[in-house]
Amino acid sequence: MSEAYPVVILGAGLTGLSAAYHLGAPSLVIEREAEVGGLARTHIDNGFTFDCTGHLLHLKDPRVVALVDAILPDAFSRHERRALIFSKGVYTPYPFQANLHGLPPEVVQECVGAFVEALVRRAAEGEPDPSRLNFRDWTERSFGAGIARHFLVPYNTKLWRTDLDEIECGWVSWSIPRPTLKEVLDGAFGTTVRGLGYNPTFLYPRRGGISVLPEALARRGAEVRLSETVTAVDAAARAVHLAGGRMVRYESLVSTIPLDRLLAITRGLPAGLPEIGGRLRAVRVLNISLGVDREGISGAHWIYFPEPGYSFYRVGFPANLSAALAPRGCSSLYVERSLLRDEPFDAEEAIATAVEDLRRAGILWKGDRLIYRRLSVIDPAYVIYDRFRADNLPRVHEALNAAGIHSAGRFGTWEYSSMEGAIRTGMQLAERLAGRFAGRKAAGGSGS
């Protein structure tokens, strides 16, 4: 059997669901998992509610604000960020570069001195161009060697599992805040500097976890089919093949599945594109969810761990976002550990190591009892911005667009983006496609 739709959308994450919601034409969303949301899914078990690590909503675009208000009125609480860094045996506020007070005096001195040197160099030579520098060089030019050495380099080495000389800087402008000299000095002398970065305030659902957002979009958007596996895309025939031998024809295909997988399963593209997909790099994340029989284990929303002696790079505390996310008298936390996609691991060992590291950091106490534990793998989690990616993505997207395939979203474009960015991308894609299909109807069950 085959069906036909003007638009078929692969993936029921925020980009795909937003595109379907805004399209105004018949479309079909096909999702491999048993629930919608993509990375914005939520797992509920034994009274604990866990997202796929931390997913917080930072809204600036008025259209996205209006959308969220329309589909989920009064569903979110606003929070002021409470983020810490554990380094040199002490906790300091985030961001590191503007809150040096409390670190060993020699570290503070080195960081402030090198920041001033970098400031003087930029005044003489001009601002560093991120497009011309690797990430390691950019951190030193922008923040000085001290802040780079004590936080930005070790933390990002842990996250990316890659030599930072190989990473480009196309993602840094919105994600890494750069303070003024006054802010660095204030933070060094004990005045906590707040409000830096893209997420000083954020929204989070009062109940239900972040999945309430994609679920609300799905209720108001196109037809969504869950637990469907795409086995192939035929670009020439404009057809999607599903497990079990079924086929869905399309005029335009929106794909939000990882770009490397799309290139691997799509027939009829120019030679060499699957090989390009095979060389796109990313890290995966071990997402360890834990429930503890003690409330208030931390006052933070999340904590960064830059030092290599700790297996994880970040720990978050969902119940500090909403008390409804953990049973009464209990706490919940998620632990994020980065691995290369081909890097082996043992699940039980990973959990045991994380628990021991949490005890060494003073988050878990000796008498704490773990009443819930779960490990899941997010793959891919963060794409690696290397030179190969920069050199080859334009060619890939040009070929896909020519074939009527629009690869979009965080992993469809192979980029680092926020939830707001995913929703906005879906809006923009729908605007481009909507005019073609005004007044059209789907031809479901139209024969074989």
What is the per-residue pLDDT for 38?
96
In tens, the pLDDT along 67-85 reads 999 999 999 999 999 999 9
Output the pTM of the full model.
0.94
If one compares 2 and 351, the residue with the highest pLDDT of the two is 351
Collapse the DSSP code of 124 into the 3-class scheme (helix H, G, I; strand E, B; otherwise coil) and give the result: helix
What is the per-residue pLDDT for 173?
65
Compute CA distances 420 → 79, 202, 326, 402, whole Å. 17, 11, 26, 27
One-letter amino acid of 188 = A
Please say if the pLDDT value at position 447 is more than 50.
no
pLDDT band at 385 (very low <50, low <70, confident <90, very high): very high
Please say if the pLDDT value at position 445 is more than 50.
no
Element holding 169 (H helix, E strand)? none
What is the rounded average pLDDT of the residues 142-171? 95
Please say if the pLDDT value at position 448 is more than 50.
no
Q: What is the DSSP string of 72-99?
A: STT-EEEEE--EEEEETTEEEESPGGG-
Please say if the pLDDT value at position 54 is more than 70.
yes
Mean pLDDT in the chain?
94
Q: How far separated are the first and last CA of the chain, in Å rounded?
A: 4
What is the per-residue pLDDT for 169?
87
Judged by average pLDDT, the poorest of 93-102, 109-118, 218-227 is: 218-227
What is the rounded average pLDDT of the residues 128-147? 91
- Kindly state the DSSP code that residue 167 receives in the 8-state scheme: B
Please say if the pLDDT value at position 441 is more than 70.
no
Please say if the pLDDT value at position 420 is more than 80.
yes
CA distance 247 to 143: 54
Question: Hey, what domains does the chain have and what are their CATH numbers?
Answer: 2-41+211-279+386-447 (3.50.50.60), 102-188 (no CATH)
Collapse the DSSP code of 99 into the 3-class scheme (helix H, G, I; strand E, B; otherwise coil) and give the result: coil
Asked if 9 contacts 405 with a C-beta cutoff of 8 angstroms, the reply is: no
In tens, the pLDDT along 267-295 reads 999 999 999 999 999 999 999 999 999 99
Please say if the pLDDT value at position 52 is more than 80.
yes
If one compares 359 and 417, the residue with the highest pLDDT of the two is 359
In tens, the pLDDT along 160-216 reads 999 999 999 877 766 788 899 999 999 999 888 777 877 789 999 999 999 999 999
If one compares 340 and 174, the residue with the highest pLDDT of the two is 340
What is the per-residue pLDDT for 446?
39
* Tokens at 428, concatenated: 């923009």
**Positive or negative torsion for Cα 206, 65, 195, 282:** positive
Please say if the pLDDT value at position 29 is more than 80.
yes
What is the per-residue pLDDT for 162?
96
What is the per-residue pLDDT for 198?
73
